Copies of this chain bind each other. A is one copy, B any other.
Amino acid sequence: MNQQMEIICIGNELLIGKTLNTNAHWMARRTTSLGVIVKRITVVGDEVNEVASAVHEALERETKLIITTGGLGPTFDDKTLEGIAKALNRKLDVNEKALKMVKEKYETYFKEGRMERVELTPPRVKMAALPEGAEPLSNPVGTAPGVMIKVDGTFLIALPGVPPEMEAIFDEAVAPLLKKQAGNVTFFEASIYADGIMESALAPLIDQVMHDNPHVYIKSHPKGEERKPHIEIHFSTTAKDSKTAKNRLGKAIVQLSELVQKSGGKIKLQKKKQ
């Protein structure tokens, strides 16, 4: 069975609709392609109790991989580590390895002439205050390190919310771990497009093809209105190799295409231009 994961995104800007949650989208796509199943995405605000509840609930569901994004920076409302510490009932303490990472960053900024002197002010030290037992993950782009904590059988990983920083730490430190956890399976997908058939008429055809192809998941996504149907039909499967996956997807696509055409619909391999 594939490993399952939850993503927790932290930031008021997501809850007031200021920022589109591209982090969750990027991470869900990357994670899925590595063969790990994203089971839930939760978005909460910059409040210690909200972060603590979300983390606690994910642990209660026995999720083996939990990744948070956001709330690791130097400002007062960066509360992710405090929330995680509360959920785990651990103390927050300055981690020497993390402090060294932060200090080295500011020394670089000083050498580049961006600062008058290297000063480890409280907001800067804050980024190195980690829950007990945590490991910092080097941030190749920004200042705040990522954080990894092993809690019994669960990996709990906290990444920054600034997209290039989140992506860099993910690719460097998280992707290899997920790949190992996924156990050598990969996610494959393909889409075709149907015109001239309503989603309600397509529904029983999908049922039949899924019944005949138990390893393929098929989902219809209406792109027009029901009265002018243009429907994306998305096929996906998880397999150990691309040959198996292509065979499975190909068989299901051929069967469904034939059924759609018999019902008077047209199949296209490309999305209709708007």
Judge whether B227 and A108 touch: CB under 8 Å.
Answer: yes
Minimum CB–CB distance from A70 to chain B (whole Å) comes to 11
Judge whether A77 and B219 touch: CB under 8 Å.
Answer: yes
Judge whether B217 and A12 touch: CB under 8 Å.
Answer: yes
Nearest B residue to A43, CB-CB = B41
Known A39-B50, A112-B227; further 6 A-B contacts with Cβ < 8 A: A42-B43, A74-B203, A121-B204, A141-B225, A142-B222, A142-B225
Of A16-24, A150-158, A173-181, A240-248, the one contacting chain B is A16-24
Nearest B residue to A5, CB-CB = B15
A57 part of interface (Cβ distance < 8 Å): yes
Q: Provide the residues of chain B in CB contact with A162, threshold 8 Å.
A: 222
- The B-contacting residues of A in range 125-160, CB under 8 angstroms, are 127, 141-143
Judge whether B42 and A16 touch: CB under 8 Å.
Answer: no
A215 part of interface (Cβ distance < 8 Å): no
Q: Provide the residues of chain B in CB contact with A198, threshold 8 Å.
A: 109, 114-115
Judge whether A15 and B42 touch: CB under 8 Å.
Answer: no
Q: A16-B32, A18-B234, A200-B121 are in contact. Are A45 and B39 (CB under 8 A)?
A: yes
Q: Provide the residues of chain B in CB contact with A46, threshold 8 Å.
A: 219
A55 part of interface (Cβ distance < 8 Å): no
A residues sitting closer than 8 Å to B (CB atoms) are 12-22, 24-32, 37-46, 50, 54, 57, 73-77, 105, 108-109, 112, 114-115, 121-124, 127, 141-143, 162, 164, 187, 189, 198-204, 206-207, 210, 217, 219-222, 225-227, 234, 236
Judge whether B29 and A15 touch: CB under 8 Å.
Answer: no
Q: Provide the residues of chain B in CB contact with A17, threshold 8 Å.
A: 25-32, 38
Judge whether B45 and A43 touch: CB under 8 Å.
Answer: no
- 9 smallest beta-carbon distances between A and B, as pairs: A17-B29, A17-B28, A123-B203, A41-B43, A74-B200, A75-B203, A16-B32, A15-B38, A20-B25
Q: List 30 A-B contacts (CB under 8 A).
A: A15-B37, A16-B28, A16-B187, A16-B189, A17-B26, A17-B27, A17-B28, A17-B30, A17-B32, A17-B38, A18-B189, A19-B221, A20-B20, A20-B22, A21-B21, A39-B50, A41-B43, A42-B42, A73-B199, A74-B199, A75-B203, A76-B207, A109-B198, A109-B226, A112-B227, A114-B198, A121-B201, A123-B204, A127-B200, A142-B226
